[in-house]
Every structure is written in structure tokens, then in C-alpha cells.
Structure 1
């Protein structure tokens, strides 16, 4: 393969807000301090969104089929001591031109081990964690769509959105809660799915419907017709479980070696492969490189 184009090397950055997506003819790169769009044909920068004031991006997600990126940022502040560091402000951005579409507020995540990112996007909706409930809004307008009915005694955490369903990690039950937190220290973590149209539960979310064989799920990815769950276990610290999004049936289980880093993404565009390096921003590498396939 030969290089067609390269984007300029990025300056070093924090890890927060990192991500890369392809929506139509636009590549989008997310960083803690800005989100930038590039022309996928030429690699030239086409737009940039910079959070207002001294706020920074905490997390980014996207519904690429509808060209909408949804980011979570912290509060404005002239100086570090005065800055609102809670990541509760949601902003939706048109991925074709960088224009802002709508804003919303999230509940402050508690605890961080369960809810490091409280928003996901896909299938025409953005799923927000508000007042310990999963609420879906139209991804382009921000108008309310539905509220999910959770199993009794469960608190929602991370979510992942696909075309027809929303997957979520739920913390349920537990008695070890001396500080009266929303989630007990010994709460059980389960994976559940809700319908991407009504919010009606489809499967999972309870000890009687455990799809992870007793493991604790903490990262979700819905892609290419399957739900991938990264889980932890005492004997095998990291496992990857591939589930059927429609039924929760387990397709594949594999153990990962200790210390394995997360992989960057590769996109197919026309007759080219485009490599994204958003997980390596601390080294100042080039965000995107396009290769011609021969």
C-alpha cells in the first residue's frame, strides 16, 4: 500500500475525549480540547469545534449514519480552582460542518467505576443518564423519545447504541454501602438490552438472566451485528464476550493477555484504507493516514 495523504501531526494531549469516526465523506477526530472534521478524500481540515471558555471534552460518541457527534464536556471556568469539573454538559454536533444542533444536561456520574461516560448515540437516538434513568432523545433534534423501564433495584451505567437496541451495564442490589452511595460496593453488574424505538427491556439485567457467566461487564461496543462486552474476572482479568444483540446469546468468549492496549480504528473509504490513531495522542502522532490498496 502507498500513502495517499497524511494529516499533520497532533500536539500532545490528554486522553479524555479521544475518538475517531467516519461519517459519509467526513473523518472526525475527537480530543479533550477540540473536535475536528477532515475531508476523507483529501485529508484537509474542513471544520473545528472548540468547547467554550476553558471547558474540555470528557467523552465523545457518534451516530455516524445520521452524521451526529454527541460529546460531554465539563463546565466553563476562568481558572482551575473555579472550574466546574463535573462532566454533565451534552452537546450534539453536525459531523458534516461542525455546527451545534442541541444541548442537554446529565446527572453527575456516581460512581465513576460504573458510569465513566453517561451518553451513547446510534440508531437515531442519543441515550442520556438523567436522574438515574436512561432517557433517549432524537439524535438530531434533542427532542425526548422514551424513558427505559429498569429492573427493580438497578442503577444504569455505561450504554452502547445500535440501530435497533440499546445495551447497558446495570448495577443491581448489594448491601455494602456504608456511605449511602447510589451503587453498593458489592452490587452485581449485569448487561441488559432495551428496544433503539420504545425503551422496553428485551433481555438481561438481573441475576436470573445473567449473560456474562458471573463476570463483571464494564465496556460495551455494538458493531457489525454483535454486542462486544469487555469483562473482568478474578482468574482472567480481561475477557471479550461477543453476544447476539437481539437475544443476548453468547457467540464467542476469549481471554486477553494482561496489559493489552486498546486498538485504534481502521476505516474503509472508496478504494482506500484510513488509519486512525486517536489512542496515541500523547505521543503526538498523525491522527489519520490514507492508504491506496493495490
Structure 2
């Protein structure tokens, strides 16, 4: 998509959705003021920039006890920690410069942090916006290592450790997982692959046993990652606070979202309308999942 200087509108509004209300802008129902994060430890990969930073900052506003940020880049981590300490001197901020593809290092991070109440997987990689036959195989491998194998390993480690009464994992996915977008062969396919892994994890670990697993399309925002592919005027960008508040709801609203365990939802879908879908979700094991249906 070339830069035109004028937003093209939000084509995502045209896609089928299970709720009536699509929330492109933030709304009071998912405001940090409505959630209590006291005593919680939240680990966010990719938590120093973009959507990850918005999520981290939202949890800070709920009074979370510890915020753990993991990123490959030390600079953004240092800035994020400084900003969090200024806004709330009482929150403990731990930062780790590490790649999700370094499994041994991620094991060390999880072990050092100890108890983790909410794990949010927000780090991601993509290749250049080019035709599939031009994508270097090494770039494709890196995309899958970062978007699939790395998160798989982190969850495996996290769920295998003793921990809190309830463990919550939120996978920040993408609508690209169920779209056919030209010149993005690795990104959408890797996101779809990991959504399926999340669904499979969810068959083995359930809320009744203290494990809650969700995959979320966050929206479309003009982040540094988006800027590598698009111009600021190419799209009607959405409010980055929406996925931040949506993650608060998934992580801190008790059992309100338990029926969405193992499902793939969009942050822009109104949360009260999602709650109203509980009977439909529980009666249809394939609803809000990616897969082949007859």
C-alpha cells in the first residue's frame, strides 16, 4: 500500500464479527480505573514499545505490584523503566534485554522473576513487504522462530513452573492470521500457526485448573513496526489504548472472560457483547477458533 496522504478508511470494519459494536476508540468499560492489579506480577514481551508499552502502562495504572519488560533493545527498556518509575514510584519494574528466540535466556528470565500472574506475548517479527518468492529463507525462519517457536517455549516453561493460583497467558496475535495479505507470507502464516498452538495448549490446560489462555488481534496502529511498511496517511489508524484496556479485562476481570479461553478475539469487540456470547461459545467448540470446518 503506497502512501497517499489521506487515510483509506478502516477496512477491518467490513469483516464479519460476532458482536455489533466495534470499538476503534477507547471506552470507559475497559479503563484502568475499573480494574485492580494490586499484588499482581505481569510479564510483557515486547513491553517497552508500541502495543506492548500501551499494555504495560495500563497495568501500571491498575496498581500492579511488579511489571516485567522483555525486549531485544536496551534503550527502549531503560526509557520505559524510567517513565514507569516517574508515574508510579511504588511499582517494581524489572527489565531484561533478551530475544524470545534465546530459549535458555528466557528460561533464566522466567526463573529469576519467579511468580508470574499474567504473561503477555507481544514481541513479534516480520520480513520485508515483498513478494513471497523474494523472501529470504533465513528471514522466514527468523519470523517463525520469533512468532511461533519462541512463544511456544516461553509458555511451556511458564506453565511447567509452580506459581500462582491462576496463570493467564495473552497472545497478541493479528487479524493477518485469517487473511490472505499479499507480500506478507511469513507474518500471517506464523500468527495463524501460533494461534493454533494456543488453542491446543487450551485443550490441555483449562480455567478450572487455574490456567487461562487467550489470543487477541490488537488493532492497527502507527507504531515503529507499522512505519517500516506503511505511511502515516495510508490507513485510519485505531486507538492503541483499546487493546491495552482489553488486556486488563482479560487479565483482571475475574471469570468474566473465561468462556473465551482458547479462542481468538479482537480487542475492538465490545466486552459486554462478548460476555453475552457465553452460551454460544460454550455450545460451539469451534466458535472463535481458526481451523478447517466441514
Same fold (TM over 0.5): no
Greater helix content:
2
* Between structures 1 and 2, the one with greater strand share: 1
- Higher RCO by CA contacts (8 Å cutoff, separation 6 or greater): 2
Structure number with larger C-alpha Rg: 1
Q: How high is the TM-score relative to the length of structure 2?
A: 0.28
